[in-house]
Amino acid sequence: SPSLSFVSRCHLSHWSGPMEEAKPGEAKTEKTADEKAQAARAAEKEKEKSQVQCEVLGVGGIKVGEGTTVHPACLIHAKLGPIEIGAWCCLEEQVEIVNNSSEPLIIGDYNVFEVGARVQGGHGAKIGNANVIESRAHLSLGVKVGNGCTIGVLTKVPELEELEDETVLELGAIEAHTKAAKRLHEILKETVPRAHHLRKTTKA
pLDDT digits (tens, 9 = 90+) for 93-146: 999 999 988 999 999 999 999 999 999 998 889 999 999 999 999 999 999 999
pLDDT tens digits for range 63-91: 999 889 999 889 999 988 999 999 999 99
Share of the chain above pLDDT 70, in %: 74
74 vs 204, higher pLDDT: 74
Tell me how far apart the alpha carbons of residues 192 and 71 are, in angstroms, rounded to a whole number: 49
pLDDT of 51 > 50? The answer is: no
What's the confidence (pLDDT) of residue 187?
84
Q: Which uninterrupted H or E stretch holds 169?
A: strand 168-169
pLDDT at 14: 46
Region label for 22, one of left (φ > 0), alpha (ψ between -120 and 50) or beta (otherwise): beta
Residue 24 to residue 39: CA distance in whole angstroms:
18
Q: What is the mean pLDDT of residues 144-161?
A: 94
| Banded model confidence at residue 9, pLDDT cuts 50, 70, 90 | very low
Sign of the dihedral through C-alpha 8, 10, 12, 16: negative
The two beta strands, 144-145 and 126-127, are parallel
Candidate from 51-55, 113-117, 163-167 with smallest mean pLDDT: 51-55
* For residue 53, pLDDT beyond 70: no
Lowest mean pLDDT among 43-47, 131-135, 161-165, 183-187: 43-47
Using CB atoms within 10 A of its CB, is residue 136 exposed (0-12), middle (13-18) or buried (19+)?
Answer: middle
